[in-house]
Amino acid sequence: MTTLAASKVKGDDDGPVLAKLPREPLHDRVYKELRRALMAARFTPGEQLTLRATAEKMGVSVMPVRAAFNRLVAERAVVLLPNGSVAVPQMSARRFEELVELRATLEGLAVRKAAKAITPAELDALAEISDELTKAGMSGDGELYLDLNKAFKFTIYEASRSPELFGLIEALWLQFGPFMHNYAKDVRAHGVEDCHREVLAALQARDGAAAEKAMTSDISGGAKFLASVATFAP
């Protein structure tokens, strides 16, 4: 009591006195690690992931891996083989087109909504990322460019204040990620890294339609470039 009262006096209402240690189940960590590896294209498309092998590689039992696999299957980040095994999905031309169209639709909607809801602080953060993005584009660091690109876009989607929409977009990126990262080094050759400046300007002007247009053209442009250099599965 006395300590609690004392801390109250100090003015820390939500208690930074003691760090709230986040109870994170093992299967969550496995899931995140798998997701990270998937995003970073650490697996080759079509590769089979077996329960016991991945469990042993990560030094855990099969149980957490099973739970993580279930989640990834439900999110379509991996595909379920008829015998129950999972495999990292292949990207066909049809699926690619579909995902691009969905990305353009949903991310366009998110930008439009963000134009109405974004805060000045978020706009400042966006401007800073945009600056780093142009620098990364000139330096030719493909990996950094992709990371900043993602940070830029997801800051906007977060600002749309639509958690459901945000979740759908995240799911799409999870399917897109592994494929995109294969061509990270080629992205810098794209040269069209000015779209984010347009998006930022439109957001600052609160012009939702212009922001959406800039974002969708950025997505379809990037997709067109990607389609030109990538090889697809039948």
Among 49, 86, 133, 168, contact with its own copies (rule: CB under 8 A): 168
151 phi-psi bin (left φ>0, alpha ψ -120 to 50, beta other)? alpha
- As measured in angstroms, the least distance from the Cβ of 194 to its own copies is 27
Looking at beta carbons only, is 87 or 151 nearer to DNA? 87
Q: Which of 224, 103, 119 is nearest to 165 (CA)?
A: 103
Looking at beta carbons only, is 1 or 121 nearer to DNA? 1
CA 82, 83, 85, 90: dihedral to nearest 10 degrees? -30
Looking at beta carbons only, is 70 or 134 nearer to its own copies? 70
Length of the chain: 234
- As measured in angstroms, the least distance from the Cβ of 114 to its own copies is 14
- As measured in angstroms, the least distance from the Cβ of 142 to DNA is 33
Residues 33 and 150: their CA atoms lie apart, in Å, by 18
Place of tokens 């498309």: 45
Q: Which residues bind DNA (CB under 7 A)?
A: 1, 23, 25-27, 49-53, 60-64, 66-67, 82-86
H-helix segments, the chain: 2-10, 26-39, 51-58, 62-74, 93-117, 120-139, 142-159, 163-181, 184-187, 195-204, 208-229
- As measured in angstroms, the least distance from the Cβ of 92 to DNA is 22
Chosen from its own copies, DNA, none, partner binding at 26 (C-beta under 5 to 8 Å by type)? DNA
Give me the 68-107 binding string for its own copies, x by CB under 8 A, dash otherwise.
--xx-xxxx-------x----------x--xx-xx--xx-
